[in-house]
Every structure is written in structure tokens, then in C-alpha cells.
Amino acid sequence: MSAVRVAITGAAGRMGQRLVALTHQGEHTVVTGATEVSTHGKIKHDAGLVAGIGEIGVTISPSLALDIGRADVVIDFSSPEATVAHARIAGEARVPMVIGTTGMSTEQAAAVASAMEGLAYVKAPNFSVGVNLVLKLLSTAASILSDEYDIEVVEMHHRHKVDAPSGTALRMAEVLAEARGVSLETHGVYARHGHTGARSRGTIGMQTLRGGDVAGDHTVIFAADGERVEIGHRASGRDTFASGAIRAARWVVAQTKPGQYDMADVLGL
């Protein structure tokens, strides 16, 4: 198997550094591009040195357009605005993408889909194998447990995360709503403060916590009179997400049918 050539955006960020390291160390992948915003202090630095693994011969550039010609796939964990721009560059070059950016608006997601038209790409809020297994379990649990079981989704992330609730928590809530045959738009409750009154039956609560360096904790609570069921996932580091994204990158370059895929497709769930 020839090595898959990977361009990594946001290569000097916390997630980007782990993607660079694990992609370089993988048996079937090689880093051929690394980018950052043009004002970043690590521009023109070796991506491997920035990631703490030593020189790899790939310097961090200020634009994906400079690296796209050497890539089979782009892995993008950046900001919504940057991801839209990256999708346009990748789309024009006919290079598939793996997108882990969260917090996109409906318009931004549509812009990405338009840019990637005719290509296969993977877009997911979480690339952890464990989290995607949890999503499957949540669907089963919610279809079995009636609305006598109140549902609360609780997530916690590091202090630097800028969107809330997390994309993973939102996806969990969507899966729960779909399993119960309701709309998250009408049944989601995102905050409680003051005199809220009794909890409405069938609603799906979402609670967001931020602090420290927590990589990602998600717990779904099914609470009824007399018992409580909890299904959760805790990530102790970013490598689980990076490894999943790299697995998705290897998978998507082999797809011949265009369209948006998610991690469940990659895993065959």
C-alpha cells in the first residue's frame, strides 16, 4: 500500500500538532503539507519540530493553496470560516477532506457542501472510535427507554473551546431525538436559570461545562423514578481524535462515490 499524502491545516494548534505527529509516525500516511494562519509565529517552521517529533522536512505555510498539489487528502480541524476557505481550495483541486471543525452555521455547512460537490469527504463532530460506538448505544437506549426517562446530556471541555454545546454533545442529542421520533429544535433545552418550573416531559437537556485542560467528557443520563442509566465517554487526550481522523483520511481516499460521510460510515456502524 502506498502512503496516503496528507495536508494538515492548523498544524501549530493543539490538535494540529498531534495530527502531524501521528500522521508522520503512521505506516501508511505521510505529511506533505502543513498550514497555519498567515500571521502565526510558526510560519516557515518545520511542522515536525513544532509538533515535538523532530524535523520532518515539511514547513508550515500560510495557505493550503501552497500545499494542495502534493496532497491526496486534507485533514481540517480549524475554525468555521477557515474550513469554508479550505474546502473551496480542496474542491477546486479535487482533493477530498476530513473535517472535524465544529460550531459551523447552517450557511457555512452549506458552503462546504457546495465546495466539495462531486467529491467524497468525511465530516464529523468527533472522530473517536469510542464516541461513535456510544452514539450507536444511545440510539438503542433511547428507543427502548420511554419518555418517562428524562434525558440530560452533560459535556465538559477545556477552557479554550469557543463553541457550546460541543459538536459531539449536539450530535448525541440529535441521535436521541431521532430515536424518540421528535425534533431537537422543539425538544432541546439548553439552559436553566431562575424559576423554570417543572421539567417538561420528553425534553432533552443540554449542560455545558468549561475548565482546565479537559480533552472531552460526555455523559448522557436517562433518569426515571427509581433508577438512572448513564452512558458516557471520557477522552484523556487528543490522540484518540487524531487517530480516528487519520483512519478516516485513509478511508475517504478510496471512496469512489461522492458525498458527505461521517465516522459511522468509516467504521461501518
Contacts of 153 (CB under 8 A, 6+ apart): 165, 169, 172, 173, 176, 204, 205, 206, 207, 218, 219, 220, 221
> For residue 137, which amino acid is it?
L
Q: Which residues make beta-bridge pairs with 151?
A: 204, 222
Residue 247 contacts residue 122 (beta carbons within 8 Å): no
In the chain, % helix, strand, coil (3-state, to 5) comes to 35, 25, 40
Catalytic residue of the set 42, 157, 187, 218: 157
Is there a catalytic annotation at residue 157?
Answer: yes
Alpha carbons 123 and 103: distance in angstroms, whole number: 12
**Which residues have a Cβ under 8 Å from the Cβ of 223 and sit 6 or more positions away?**
149, 150, 151, 152
Cβ atoms 129, 244 nearer than 8 A: yes
Q: Is 161 a catalytic residue?
A: yes
Supply the residues annotated as catalytic: 157, 161
